[in-house]
Amino acid sequence: MDLNLKGKRVLVTGGSKGIGKACAQVFAEEGASVMIASRDGAALEAAAGDIKSKTGAEVKWKAADLSKQGVAEDLAKWAGDLDVLVNNAGAIPGGDLLKVDETTWRSSWDLKVFGYINLTRAVYAQMKAKKRGVIVNVLGNAGEKLNAAYIAGSTANAGLMAFTRALGGASHADGIRVVGVSPGPVETDRLLKLYKQMAEVKLGDADRYRELYAGMAFDRPATSEEIAWTVAFTASDRSSYTTGIYITIDGGLAARS
């Protein structure tokens, strides 16, 4: 399916690895003009080079810590006139209420929650002026499958789900669509590290980590590409009547709970 994304200007945050990098590559494959941002300049440069080697597309990059005040506005100015923003930057540590202290809670929310909100605000103003644009928020099914052992992440994702629905329910008046894509377990470097650690403890062999996938849908987590293709589709004109919703991709995990 031709998604009609050729020539579209796209910014992906958290674009140096995992879901963000996969999104950037899919948009590049579709002929979009892609920009990526994250906190790690070296990782961004490597990701841009890898995407170019696979697609032939030049990917612009900028190191930006969206947890810092004013950075979202600077990044929006650097990116310029965008057609699509993909909010993806953020990593919230696990832990229950007594383990996650205020400093950790605030710093992780500054990146993911306020990073999404502040960059959306800056880009929304640009899009409203031209009466068109799409904002895709990459969320997390912990906002539906609430988990007290991941309380900061569950609360953050639930809040961003509400943010996506509230803004997307009204944004059509400005010619803008706001949608969310909410993954469950995805086989990123972060998840692999976690499962290898678990396999070492439970099975005595880190290389047997795939045995711990039992019980997941199809006995595996999602791939980053499976998330990225949904992001690209919802951002495209093929999904032009979609706004104010989020799509959960977790193999039915939240539904089973």
pLDDT of residue 191: 86
Q: Whole-model pTM? A: 0.94
Q: How far apart, in whole angstroms, are the C-alpha atoms of residue 117 and residue 196?
A: 34
pLDDT of residue 76: 98
Question: Is the Cα torsion angle 207, 48, 34, 25 positive or negative in sign?
Answer: negative
On the question of pLDDT at 1 being above 80, the answer is: no
Topology adopted by domain 9-186+222-256: Rossmann fold (3.40.50)
DSSP 161-227: HHHHHHHHTTGGGGTEEEEEEEE-SB--HHHHHHHHHHHHHHTS-GGGGGGGGBTBGGGSPBPHHHH
On the question of pLDDT at 257 being above 80, the answer is: no
pLDDT of residue 189: 87
**Count of residues in the chain:** 257
32: amino acid identity, one letter: A
- Assign 213 a pLDDT band (cuts: 50, 70, 90): very high
Residues in CB range of 123: below 8 A, 6 or more apart: 11, 76, 79, 82, 85, 133, 135
- Domain extent listing, the chain: 9-186+222-256
On the question of pLDDT at 123 being above 90, the answer is: yes
pLDDT of residue 190: 84
pLDDT of residue 256: 87
pLDDT of residue 197: 85
- Assign 61 a pLDDT band (cuts: 50, 70, 90): very high
Count CA within 13 A, CB hemisphere, residue 56.
3
> Per-residue pLDDT tens for 155-211?
999 999 999 999 999 999 999 999 999 999 999 988 898 789 888 989 999 999 999
What would the mean pLDDT of 237-243 be, rounded to a whole number? 97
The residue with greater pLDDT, 27 or 2, is 27
What would the mean pLDDT of 132-153 be, rounded to a whole number? 95
- DSSP reduced 3-state for 82: coil
Q: What is the mean pLDDT of the chain?
A: 95
H/E element holding 87?
strand 84-87
